Amino acid sequence: MSFYIGNIEVKNKIILAPMAGVSNSPFRILARKYGAGLVYAEMVSDKGLLHSNEKTLKLLYMTDVEKPMAQQIFGSDKDTMVEAALYIDKHSNCDIIDINMGCPVPKVAIKAQAGASLLKDPDKIYDIVSEIVKHVTKPVTIKIRAGWDDNSKNAVEVAQKAEAAGAKAIAVHGRTRSQGYSGFADLEIIKAVKEAVKIPVIGNGDVTDGPSAKRMLEYTGCDAVMIGRGALGNPWVFREIDAYLKDGTMVDKPSNEEIKEMMILHLDALIELKGEKIACLEMRGHGPWYLKGIAHAKELRYKLSRTQTRDEFVEHINEFFK
């Protein structure tokens, strides 16, 4: 089940995606605890690092429990991307440096001309990756999309350029930038990328359980699957996929008691890292994700969206789950 990204061993084929506001240290710890073989940190701005932006630097926090871990950076200027990668190489405890070339949100892909915007210029991708590889000691990887839109699905060309530049792995989200998160991921493009390069390829998009993970692995031949939205409020998904890939076991879904305990555990971990105020604000997002599919939880979701303290949060969920 294991594979290597450069000299870093990843012991299974299940990876946590980098998600802004989600893939922080507490959530990465949960993902590793429940079976993720590798976790990605949320992306940080190259310029934020170079200007020592306090918020950006805080995003670099990690613990040894999370390793192996990839730290993702984004930007569009080769020189500042190299400087940011050097900073990560020297000051971060991560194992892998990943370059975001797939983020579809307008403030990144359009305003900053970073993320998925880089897909428009494969030669620029080659230049950025090759220059970073020359200057850092850690393996360099990239995360891309199928292309900018349906008329420019160039993931294969981009992957070949990145491999030639020295990238050690490529994660491919099977949607285009114009799709955002709508429609379905294109497994054909992931398969084509895998057939076109020799380095590991990580498939991303629509993996939410054991069967969907197995389908992507078998159809595309990719080396691993990356789980993003399927992990929201559901760190157990890594355990479920791991069991299914090993022998077809269908693990029971978590009980309501497990969900309640996990919500409190997650909140407490966020409080320890960020303080009660910010932790409660972040759990306004995580809370509804944990409650997805649970009957009669509408009122609880409403209450959690206004919760300001740990005591309030715990009181609301204890009352609901009693």
Task: Please state, in angstroms and as integers, the Cα–Cα distance from residue 54 to each residue in 28, 45, 59, 60, 137, following that order.
Answer: 21, 12, 9, 10, 25
Among 94, 103, 222, 280, which one carries the catalytic annotation? 103
| Antiparallel, parallel or unpaired: β 8-10 and 3-5 | antiparallel
Q: Which among 305, 303, 261, 299 is positioned nearest to 286, based on CA atoms?
A: 305
Task: State how far the Cα of 121 lies from the Cα of 178, in Å rounded to an integer.
Answer: 16
Judged on CB neighbours under 10 Å (0-12, 13-18, 19+), 21 is exposed
Would you give the DSSP letter of residue 45? E
The alpha carbon of residue 292 and the mean position of all alpha carbons in its chain are separated, in whole angstroms, by: 20
The verdict on whether 94 is a catalytic residue reads no
Radius of gyration of the chain (CA): 19
Task: Please state, in angstroms and as integers, the Cα–Cα distance from residue 193 to each residue in 144, 188, 196, 227, following that order.
Answer: 11, 9, 5, 19
Measured on CA atoms in the order 216, 189, 35, 263, is the torsion positive or negative? negative
Measured on CA atoms in the order 7, 72, 66, 185, is the torsion positive or negative? negative
Q: Check if the beta carbon of residue 140 is closer than 8 Å to that of residue 97.
A: yes
76 contact partners, CB below 8 Å, separation of at least 6: 112, 113, 114, 117, 118
Task: State how far the Cα of 35 lies from the Cα of 235, in Å rounded to an integer.
Answer: 9
Provide the annotated active-site residues: 103
